[in-house]
Chain A
Amino acid sequence: MRHIISLLMENEAGALSRVAGLFSSRGYNIESLTVAATEDSTLSRMTLVTAGSDDVIEQITKQLNKLIDVVKVVDLSEGDHIERELMLIKVRALGKDREEIKRLADIFRGRIIDVTDKSYTIELTGTGSKLDAFLDTIERSAILETVRTGASGIGRGERILKV
């Protein structure tokens, strides 16, 4: 099953490699991983999307907790949570397609953030499946480039991950 795990870790050189190394050495899979410093610059917040049986996920959270640099770990999928991913997509936009692509971007609440006479660059946020859906609506050959951040997640309501 897919799980989205959030963690706070010391913002130190090499901390990311400890997490990445743990996943590769123990054979866990990573679908995506995002990391950046928090409002407290000594801490980094990481969101990890992984998949595995309950036993594997239990081991993953235990092993993450065991890393000395990791301060807190929470499996967001255990409760209500929100997840968002950012995608930048450059598409070929010529002739009558220009209007159509603009309309599609609007429908998905995307924003065109760069324009040339041949292309649009669209910024789109949402869940991974929404981004997938948007990609599906655009003809494959029109897609020039995509870049996705991987999911970031946060608990709903009073669920807070903080030191």
Chain B
Amino acid sequence: MSTELTGAEITVRCLQKEGVDHIFGYPGGAVLFIYDELFKQDKVKHVLVRHEQAAVHAADGYARSSNKIGVALVTSGPGVTNAVTGIATAYMDSIPLVIISGQVPTHAIGLDAFQEVDTVGITRPCVKHNFLVKDINELATTIKKAFFIASTGRPGPVLVDIPKDVSQQKAVFVYPESVAMRSYNPVTRGHAGQIRKAVQLILEAKRPMIYAGGGIILSDAAAQLTELVRMLGFPCTNTLMGLGGFPATDRQCVGMLGMHGTYEANMAMQHCDVLVAIGARFDDRVIGNPKHFFNEDRKIIHIDIDPSSISKRVKVDVPIVGSVSDVLVELIKMLKVRKEKPDQTALDAWWTQIDLWRARDCLKYDRSSSIIKPQLVIEKLYDVTKGDAFVTSDVGQHQMWAAQFYKFDLPRRWINSGGLGTMGFGLPAAMGVQFANPGNMVACVTGEASIQMCIQELSTCKQYNLPLKVINLNNRYMGMVRQWQEFFHGNRYAESYMDALPDFVKLAESYGHVGMKIEQPGDVESALTEAFKLKNRLVFMDFITDQTENVFPMVPGGKGLSEMILV
């Protein structure tokens, strides 16, 4: 007879079996037995955050930057409700996470017990799947399923809710090697006939465009994408989620597209005759008004692992359901076999047109300004880190400038909340990135509004000696809100100012970090250089930037891609 383990022991053993090295969490009544077991071992290192939202964001940053599954552990009730923002953030960007939450004992469920919420109900719309484990004998299999579901198909967060009594009861521990679920069999390989049709369309293209999204990053297909783009000589644009999927410094990269995409990317997107969409979902911030998008005639090939992403916002001609990396391998193979090339004369003419659009220099800004321009800070950040840093961001103008001006040549280097747009994401995500990539440079580009949504994590950073570099673009406004108010609300800046700001230098110092305040454009580069020399310290850099700077180009909401507001 095998020895029996408690539910808490089983939970921790499962994490060990899954090779989890870090979990991010915060203890509380319902998870005390699990914490007790974590205490007794040292394989799974627990990172104590200061708020559950940060636990999930950190696990998320860990997952995005490493292609491993991020794990968070929170208690019942407020532990879970605090975690919801983090879970929804991961869900919108399809990030593989396993969240373990404590629940009140099974006999108390439904009785409005202390720290009870309907966790499965509250999280249901923002998880890929969730479980309430009522039977100790199903605990190990359920956790195995959670890891399986989170990381396969279109990835996403999976939550396992464990009542306190289940974590205390005993059962024989058997961790299944694999799980088969009759209701869940995600497709990986694309349909060969469909790929053949795609090849045909690609070869017939006169004005082709490759539009690659977060799916490239999630399925580790950057190498295949790069091979395809170079082999065809086509222009390639990356979405906000796909930055780094194709090297930004490559001539064939026309930059990011969408609401704040480059002029050349949006124009090429609008005027192409064959569009190859890969791991992207034609989001409203990407193609603007779908009706306007269809003013131009084009054929669309759409490769995505999630059938429900295909023909959701736009009708496509050649849908290919499958893992982006597998499909690209097949596509490249078939193109090589065909040995044909698309019409080179037409392609040259197309590039001439694109270069004309590019010459518009849509990202230009006043480089001689006597006030610090936020774009300058990002450019200098790029120079000082030689493009080799992991960059997380919060949400708003600074996020867009980081996306526009930091040239990401590698995948998993750009970490931001694209779908949900969660302010407060940047700092805790950067912690997760640093845990997954010790020794690498990690910068968090933020603003004075966003940073205050999870600033308590400076304490976590101190505890674990995380040498992050916080780049605070401080314009004393919720900049993106202010920009919309300037453009669309008659310059009435309703509640978008930031008053009574803390002295960020002193704040950083009070947490035991280094603080810097930079007010002159001439000091930007030297300050950044100095900060990155402090390899073992977190440096909080408060850049006092131009209050009125706006993000350009801009496709106003409801407008078409070619209806950009330009500088």
A binding-site residues for B, Cβ under 8 Å: 9-10, 13-14, 17-18, 21, 25, 55, 58-59, 62-63, 65-66, 68-71, 163
Contact = CB atoms under 8 A, between A and B. Distances in A.
Interface of B: 120-121, 124-125, 128-129, 132, 149, 181-184, 306-308, 311-312
A58 B315 CA distance: 12
Contact of B183 (A17, A21, A70): A70
A104 to B, nearest CB: 45
A17 B308 contact: no
Nearest to A58: B311
Contacts of B181: 68
Given A18-B124, A59-B312, A63-B308, A13 B132 contact: yes
Given A14-B120, A17-B121, A58-B311, A66 B306 contact: yes
A71 B124 contact: no
B300 to A, nearest CB: 15
Nearest to B130: A14
- Dominant secondary structure at the A interface: helix
A163 B184 CA distance: 13
Given A13-B132, A21-B124, A25-B125, A71 B311 contact: no
A25 to B, nearest CB: 5
A55 B128 CA distance: 23
A20 to B, nearest CB: 10
Contacts of A25: 125
Given A14-B120, A17-B124, A59-B312, 11 more contacts: A9-B183, A17-B121, A18-B124, A21-B125, A25-B125, A58-B311, A63-B308, A66-B308, A68-B129, A68-B184, A71-B182
6 closest pairs, A vs B, by CB?
Answer: A62-B308, A68-B129, A71-B183, A62-B307, A25-B125, A68-B184
Contacts of B120: 14
A75 to B, nearest CB: 14
Contacts of B124: 14, 17-18, 21
Contacts of B121: 17
A68 B128 contact: yes
B183 A10 contact: yes
19 contacts: A9-B183, A13-B132, A14-B120, A14-B124, A17-B121, A17-B124, A25-B125, A58-B311, A59-B312, A63-B308, A65-B307, A65-B308, A66-B306, A66-B308, A68-B129, A68-B181, A69-B129, A70-B183, A163-B182
A63 B311 CA distance: 12
B183 A68 contact: yes
Residue of B120, B306, B307, B308 with most partner-chain A CB within 10 A: B308
